[in-house]
Structure 1
Amino acid sequence: MSTPPTTTGDGQYLSPSPAISTHGNLASSSKPVLDSLIAHLVASKRSLSSIDLVWRANELVTSARAALEESVILGARSGFLKQGIIGQAKVLRRVRDGIEDVAREGQVEFGAMLRELDAADARLQHTLDILRSTTVEPGFRPTDDQPKTLHDFVDGQGVDNLKASIRSSIDQIQEAQKEFGDSISSFDSDLQAVEKAIASITVSSPSSSDVLESPIPLLLRSLESQAKEMADLLQSLVRHFDLCVTAVKHTEGGGAAARSITGDLPKGVNVMNRGGSDDDDDGAPPEPITEEEREDMLDVLSKDAAEVEDVVTEIRDHLAEMETQFDPVSSHVNYLTGVHDEAIAAFQLLEEIGTRLPVYVSSSRDYLARWEDEKGTIESRMEDLDGLREFYEGFLKAYDGLIIEVGRRRGVQVRMEAIVQEAMAKVEQLHDEDAAERETFRLDQGDFLPSDIWPGLSNPPPRYEILPLNKDVSDLPELPKKLIEQALRRAGDLGGKI
């Protein structure tokens, strides 16, 4: 708007010549001019309602300043929480890795123990298979007995009980592993939840450097600049209003109209010239001005009146742009608030996990205790397995030894019988020789000797027989020579002769 003519301190135009009469300006006024001036005054008054837009602009600036402060606080809090949560998550990860190491070592040891068990069981089964495939020589059994194998003499219930005990211990360990694994899985789920929350904060929450790159400071400067421009435009409307009031008052019949129109201005508008009140002296004319000053004033007023709507539109445009610029400010604060809420939620989740952490650690100790207990049981049972295998291998060796022993006894018996037969032959020969000598003696001397001189004179020579004293002992079985040789070969003693 144009710069108004020079005025006095109370808003009245200065008169270049104090000698000019006040009647001059009244005489120059006309009704058409007054009507035009009143229309300008009414339009000017209406434009002053733009003060509400200026108030709104001031609210936006104030809100933007508060948003900047809040964004700095939220960003700092979120960053601090995020770093703390990351540190605690690392501690949890180390604890979890330690628990995982316990589980892994237990699984490795358990796997090695199972392999040792399988090997021990395979050795035992191999020995049992040999017992099953080894038929007891029929000569060792009664003639009416069913064929048997060495395995028929094994206490199968003892083997089954031992294996059942081992399976029970294995089941206990596997159950402990499952419970421990479930605990680790639960721990993993908690860690994944925390890491997911941290990732969300890391992706979306601003770091300290991000706060410096916030759009709010730049937008705040723009909002402040536009608010100042709106205030300046409003001030130009106020000056135009004052000029309209002055012009109406310096027009004949305008005083009453000025008072009527300016009586209810928008709240907060600070004008210099309200046009008086009902208590004012209606007869008191305004300070006189020259015709030239009045013409200059009307010329300025006319030009400014044409720009009033443009000024009001410009104020509205400024406010609309400020509203648009404030949206990112509000969005950024909402964004930071959401990030802060995520950080708080992550921290609360961390606290919940902290209450469950002793349970996870305790599950590790429980697993170790159960593992050590059952491991000792299994190791003892493995020794029993090896003991059974050694016993059954001893049984196999003893059976080979039995075959060898029977063969040895058979050899001794054969030799003894040969000696008996040889002895009996010699005894019989002596008997026959004695009988012949006795007969010769009887023939040569018998006639001369009385029969009652010796009762045994005519007795035959004694006869002898060699018999076993333990006739009730069972006879030795007849074993095939090949069977005995195989037994000797297995025993590593091929030097014996049968």
Structure 2
Amino acid sequence: MSEQSRQASPERSIDELQGLVQHFVAAKRSLSSASLVSRAHDIVTTARGLVEETAVLTAKNAFVRQGVLEEANVLLAIRDGLDNIGRETDVDFKAVIHQLDLADSRLQTTLVQLSNTQVDTSELHSRGATPDNQKTLHDFIDEDTHLHLIESLRSTIDSHKAAEADFQRSQDSFDDQIRSLDTAVNDADQTTDNQDSLSPIPPLFHNLTDNATHTASLLSSLVAHYDLCTSALKHTEGGGEAARQANPSLADDAPEDSLYRNLPLGPLNEQERQEMLAVVDNDAQEVDGVVLDIHDYISEMEATLDQLQSHSTAIRLRHKLLNHVLDLLRTLGGNLPIFLAAAKLYGSNWNVLKESLLVKADELGSLTDFYESFIASYASLLDEVNRRQAVENRMRRIADKARREIESLYKEDVAMREDFVRSTGEFLPRDIWPGLVDAPKRWEIRAASPELPQELPGDSEEQ
């Protein structure tokens, strides 16, 4: 070897050792990224707990949501059934009221007819009656009869209206609770975007585990680079002392061997050593980039963890809101027998009131029939009065004619008796017949007072 080569060799060795020490210190410093990798492990552990929790809560939420939907459909079907009871009863009630209105209209028409029909008191009672004391057929009926019947109908209708109001209050309460349940379900769906699926969570967790794997891999590369720097120092003369001077934290370590306790101590020839130094130089250029990559991965993992926690918080909130829905559903279920009992009571009360209304409608019709028969009978009475007057007039004419004929016969008989006595009187003794000179018998025809009808034999037997 030339003199110039011998002089250049120590200078190159010094530069080489200084560069190697700088790489070693940088590699040592980069190992502080191990805390970031530990943080990555903590993030993954926390995320795994969130995934497990949200998986359980999501399954529960989905089950509860589906169950609430099914129960809500059942409740709506029951509500429709109760509505049908109300509608059918209302239709039935209106039909009965229509029937009652027709019966009442007929009664009122008949009452007007009674009020408009004046009784001819001059013919039926006493002569010389004046319009002031004239009566109508309405004066001869008991007005309280139909007034009490109408009042009874109104009372029955009021009873139905009261029962209908009670039933409607029950239905309104049922509606309010269904609306509250529906509102609570909508709040749970809208507030948490109906998060009953884990779709965004597995990709996020997978991204976390990938990033954690990458940070561990990057840290492994930094450790390998550090080990390679240590090995290079070990195979370089004065490397251990130079490393301790550059990094005082190594002063407490054991002598030079403390740098190599985990490294193979096999000998290297100069070519192998130069190849190792070339690798160290090349890797040293990437140390800062690897550290930045680890920081970037950790930052991304922190952001991903925030997203997972946000999703987890939303799912917890949804679980809480759905539990409130369950509370409302339990309350409604507890009140359901009350609503059903109210509908049953309303239906049974209507059946009783309906029968009562129909009976009263028949009574109203029967009373109207009686009043109409009264009007018809009065018309027949007037016809009977006219008939009797005609018969009496005829009898009077016959009696007058008979009276005139009897009077004529009487006078004729008187004259003939007188002629007989004149022609035979001097020849016949007076005592030969006591009635010889008697006057004819007088006959009278006059109106007699009617006799009371005698009881027929058959009538007494029937009694």
TM-score, structure 1 as length reference:
0.73
Deviations 1:80-127 (A, max 9, x none): 223333333333333333323322222222122112111212222222
In the TM superposition, what is the alpha-carbon distance from 1:356 to its structure 2 partner?
A: 0.5
Q: Give unpaired runs (5+ residues) of structure 2.
A: 1-8, 453-463
Higher helix share: 2
2-structure distance, mates of 1:132, 1:340: 78
Please, which runs of 5 or more residues in structure 1 have no aligned partner? Answer: 1-24, 264-274, 474-498
Letter in 2 for 1:87: E
Three-state SS of the structure 2 residue aligned to 1:466 is coil
Partner of 1:107: 90
Instruction: Please give the per-residue CA displacement for 1:171-208, whole angstroms capped at 9, x wherever unaligned.
Output: 2112222322332233234334445556677885466x
Identity fraction in percent: 38
Counterpart amino acid of 1:108?
A: V
Offset of 1:391 from its aligned partner?
A: 0.3
Contact residue 26 and residue 251 of structure 1 kept, 8 A: no
Deviation at residue 383 of structure 1 after TM alignment: 1.1
Asked if residue 185 in structure 1 is aligned to residue 172 in structure 2, the reply is yes
Q: 2:276, 2:400 → 1: CA distance?
A: 176
Distance 2:37 2:141 in 1: 108
CA drift of 1:299 comes to 6.0
For residues 4-23 of structure 1, what are the structure 2 equivalents within 5 Å?
none
Q: Secondary structure at the match of 2:119?
A: coil
Is 1:125 aligned to 2:108, yes or no? yes
Label 1:166 to 1:262 Cα distance change in 2 as closer, same or farther (>3 A): farther
Note closer, same or farther for the CA distance 1:41–1:434 as it changes in structure 2 (3 Å cut): same
Query: Aligned AA for 1:179?
Result: D
My pick for the range that moved more, 41-50 or 417-426, is: 41-50
Partners of 1:92 and 1:173 in 2: how far apart? Answer: 27
Assess, with a 3 A threshold, how the Cα gap between structure 1 residues 386 and 450 changes in structure 2: closer, same or farther.
same
- Aligned residue for 1:66? 49
The aligned residue for residue 169 of structure 1 is 156
Q: Distance in 1 between matches of 2:203 and 2:449?
A: 126
The answer to whether the Cα contact below 8 Å between 1:259 and 1:277 also exists between their aligned partners in 2 is no
Partner of 1:354: 333
The answer as to whether partners of 1:248 and 1:258 remain within 8 angstroms in 2 is no
The residue that corresponds to 2:221 in the other structure is: 236
| Cα distance change of structure 1 residues 351 and 319 upon mapping to structure 2, 3 Å threshold | same
Worse-matched range after superposition: 338-347 or 164-173: 338-347
Aligned to 2:69: 86
1:226 maps to 2:211 = yes
CA distance in 2, matches of 1:61, 1:40: 32
1:283 to 1:86, Cα distance in 2 relative to 1, 3 A = closer
1:479 aligned residue: none
Alignment partner of 1:48 out of 31, 35, 53:
31
1-structure distance, mates of 2:335, 2:258: 91
1:42 to partner: Cα distance = 5.3
Aligned length: 432
**C-alpha separation in 2, matches of 1:284 and 1:93:** 80
Q: In the TM superposition, what is the alpha-carbon distance from 1:301 to its structure 2 partner?
A: 5.1
Q: Distance in 1 between matches of 2:11 and 2:300?
A: 49
Contact 1:166–1:378 (CA under 8 A) maintained in structure 2: yes
Structure 2 match to 1:324? 303
Residues 149 and 257 of structure 1: is their aligned pair in 2 closer, same or farther, counting only changes over 3 Å?
A: same
Shift in Å at residue 331 of structure 1?
3.3
Whole-angstrom CA distance in 1 between matches of 2:403 and 2:185: 111
Paired residue for 1:421?
Answer: 400
Choose the corresponding residue for 1:155, options 135, 142, 152: 142
Q: For 1:379 and 1:242, how far apart are their aligned partners in 2?
A: 108
Change (3 A) 1:285 1:187: closer
Q: Is the 8 A contact 2:25 2:246 kept in 1?
A: no
The one-letter code matched in structure 1 to 2:288 is E
CA distance in 1, matches of 2:10, 2:158: 119
The amino acid across from 1:177 in the alignment is: E
- Deviation, 1:353, is 1.1
CA contact (8 A) 1:248 1:255 kept: no
Evaluate the alpha carbon distance shift between residue 222 and residue 299 of structure 1 in structure 2; reply closer, same or farther with a 3 A threshold.
same
Out of 265, 271, 277, the residue aligned to residue 252 of structure 2 is 277
